[in-house]
């Protein structure tokens, strides 16, 4: 590290307090308003040029954000007013490794004063190596972002097609034309008019089995089998995997096992979030979740997953929820939720297509997890000079 220079944070960047802008004055323009937790709205004016950096000044202190576009730096942030021969994206990654909590100048509400952080002692490489380091980490972030966007696109396509076929009833008829708008026969049901030959049954009739470990409080460990609780399931994905709790291998061996096609559904806080088990069944359904196993003779798993996740399915779940502050659903009430069962051939056609979507999403999520772990391992080592760019590139190549 001899070629890395000793400096202070204020010698590579100058921070400025963000600018006041009450929420009532947000104009909804094209420029993001960046607060201590990220983008909080949009405005028709900006305070800062593109490729800028903010860190939380009040509340969520020290958390850095890199903004590609021009933006309004909110008064809850400090933003980089000037880069002193330092590469902006390197600075962003470097800031992620610094512990600003010990520089908290607030009392009841955490706050950060730029005068406290400018003297912070650091060591940094020259501009060219800063750029090389940032390029390595940015490459990983782009791959992660591309996979997340791919999953979002896949999910939107699936939901759109499901709605078109099974909510709007515009699935292709025998002539390949939209069923309902082409005069397809409809019959009355408790869910309104539905295509002839379809039926409405309860969720209990759809299930072969339900795993409910909500009353159990297992001992958690730093490693082992991931325990899925409600806080880790959002938008059809597993989130915050780095904060997973784990159960022992022995408890897992003695527990009911998940199967491919099982659906994890949160029972409260929040209610009705779903995660579909495609291939990886090594999870333990823990707090505030049910694991639903479809009776394949009645309904196919992929179809049931999208039925429960669409707006109608969610409304049927929510109307049976209880609780004033936190909405939750009892198992007995969940069983009574209505499920629309289409003709088998159509359901099979849909499921064949969307099993591929669900498998691809899980494959992408596993890649995201691997890339994220690689990035988070390399970040502090690259920023401290413990490893250099060539070595980091070799590690990434070996991990492919």
**Residues ≥6 apart with Cβ < 8 Å to 152:** none
Same domain, 210 and 119: no
Residue 50 lies in a domain: yes
Length of the chain: 400
Residue 151 CA to residue 148 CA, distance in Å, equals 5
Indicate which CATH number applies to the domain containing 48. 3.90.220.20
pLDDT band at 48 (very low <50, low <70, confident <90, very high): very high
pLDDT value of position 107 = 54
pLDDT band at 385 (very low <50, low <70, confident <90, very high): very high
Residue 106's domain comprises: 5-124
List 328's β-bridge partners, or say none. Answer: 268, 322
Choose the weakest-confidence range: 70-84, 93-107, 337-351.
Answer: 93-107
Residue 11 lies in a domain: yes
How close are the terminal C-alpha atoms of the chain, in Å? 29
CB 136 within 8 A of CB 389: yes
Residue 138 lies in a domain: no
Same domain, 337 and 203: yes
pLDDT value of position 307 = 98
**pTM score:** 0.85
End of a domain among 124, 149, 182?
Answer: 124
Domain count, the chain: 2
| Segment holding 382, helix H or strand E | helix 344-384
**Residues ≥6 apart with Cβ < 8 Å to 46:** 31, 70, 71, 72
End of a domain among 292, 317, 341?
Answer: 341
For the chain, the helix, strand and coil percentages under 3-state DSSP, each to the nearest 5: 40, 25, 35
Residue 190 lies in a domain: no
Same domain, 115 and 22: yes
pLDDT value of position 109 = 59
CA-angle at 208, arms to 332 and 203, nearest 5°:
40
- Judged against a pLDDT cut of 70, whether residue 105 lies above it is answered with no
pLDDT band at 106 (very low <50, low <70, confident <90, very high): low
pLDDT in tens, 21-43: 999 999 999 999 999 999 999 99
Same domain, 112 and 237: no
Same domain, 21 and 109: yes
- Judged against a pLDDT cut of 90, whether residue 324 lies above it is answered with no
End of a domain among 310, 325, 341?
Answer: 341
Residue 35 CA to residue 48 CA, distance in Å, equals 13
pLDDT in tens, 215-262: 888 999 999 999 999 999 999 999 988 899 999 999 999 999 999 999
Share of residues in the chain with pLDDT > 90 (%): 85
pLDDT top residue among 265 and 323: 265
């Amino acid at each position: 590290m001899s070629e890395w220079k000793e400096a202070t944070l204020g010698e590579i960047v100058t921070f400025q307090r963000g600018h006041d802008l009450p929420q009532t004055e947000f104009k909804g323009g094209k420029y993001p308003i960046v607060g201590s937790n990220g983008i909080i709205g949009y405005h028709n004016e900006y305070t800062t040029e593109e490729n800028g950096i903010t860190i939380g000044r009040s509340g969520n202190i020290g958390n850095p954000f890199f903004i590609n576009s021009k933006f309004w730096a909110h008064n809850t942030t400090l933003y980089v007013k000037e880069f002193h021969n330092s590469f902006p994206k390197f600075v962003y990654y470097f800031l992620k490794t610094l512990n600003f909590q010990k520089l908290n100048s607030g009392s009841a509400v955490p706050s950060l004063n730029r005068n406290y952080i400018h003297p912070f002692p650091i060591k940094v490489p020259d501009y060219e190596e800063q750029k090389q380091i940032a390029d390595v980490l940015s490459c990983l972030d782009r791959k992660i972002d591309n996979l997340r966007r791919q999953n979002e696109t896949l999910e939107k396509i699936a939901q759109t097609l499901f709605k078109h076929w099974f909510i709007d009833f515009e699935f292709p008829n025998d002539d390949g034309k939209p069923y309902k708008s082409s005069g397809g026969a409809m019959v009355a049901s408790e869910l309104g008019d539905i295509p002839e030959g379809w039926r409405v049954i309860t969720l209990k009739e759809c299930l072969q089995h339900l795993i409910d470990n909500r009353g159990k409080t297992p001992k958690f460990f730093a490693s082992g089998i991931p325990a899925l609780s409600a806080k880790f399931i959002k938008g059809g994905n597993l989130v915050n995997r780095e904060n997973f709790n784990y159960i022992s291998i022995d408890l897992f061996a003695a527990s009911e096992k998940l199967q491919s096609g099982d659906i994890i559904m949160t029972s409260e806080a929040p209610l009705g979030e779903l995660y579909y088990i495609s291939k990886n069944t090594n999870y333990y359904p823990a707090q505030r979740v049910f694991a639903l196993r479809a009776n394949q003779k009645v309904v196919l798993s992929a179809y049931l997953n999208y039925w429960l996740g669409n707006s109608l399915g969610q409304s049927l779940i929510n109307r049976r929820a209880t609780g004033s502050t936190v909405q939750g659903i009892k198992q007995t009430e969940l069983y009574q939720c209505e499920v629309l069962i289409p003709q088998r051939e159509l359901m099979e056609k849909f499921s064949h297509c969307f099993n591929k979507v669900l498998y691809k999403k899980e494959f992408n999520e596993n890649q995201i997890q691997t890339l994220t772990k690689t990035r988070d391992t390399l970040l502090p080592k690259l920023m401290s000079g413990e490893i250099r760019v060539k070595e980091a590139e070799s590690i990434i190549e070996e991990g492919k």
